[in-house]
Amino acid sequence: QVQVVESGGGVVQPGGSLRLSCAASGSIFRLVTMGWYRQAPGKERELVARITGGSRTIYRDSVKGRFAISRDSAKNTIYLQMNDLKPEDTAVYYCNVDPDGYNIWGRGTQVTVSS
């Protein structure tokens, strides 16, 4: 059974940093696209960043220059380094694996940016 497990959320002050991790079980996912989405209360889920099997990346405009997505294909794991966090980054962050195929979602991890 495929599992996607996120970790690394928490509470941080504005300007702080967090690093999220997402591990997907199964070697079939070594070269698929993986990404991070987020959903704030009362808002729709939105793409934060995505990385392809060839490590091409895309980011939403509001996080460019602050967030960085990376992957360790040997571990089927992706990371989201979040710097200079702002209150508007507060949301549940979800990992997504293989959006054009299996389209598997993790359960999410809460990120709260507050003073």
93-104 mean pLDDT: 91
Residue 4: per-residue pLDDT? 92
Q: What is the pLDDT of residues 46-92, one digit of tens each?
A: 999 999 988 999 999 999 999 999 999 888 899 999 999 999 999 99
Judged by DSSP in three states, 99 sits in: coil
Structure tokens at 111: 């990120």
Q: What is the pLDDT of residues 15-48, one digit of tens each?
A: 999 999 999 887 677 778 999 999 999 999 999 9
One-character DSSP codes across 16-58:
--EEEEEEE-SGGGTTS-EEEEEE-TTS--EEEEEE-TT--EE
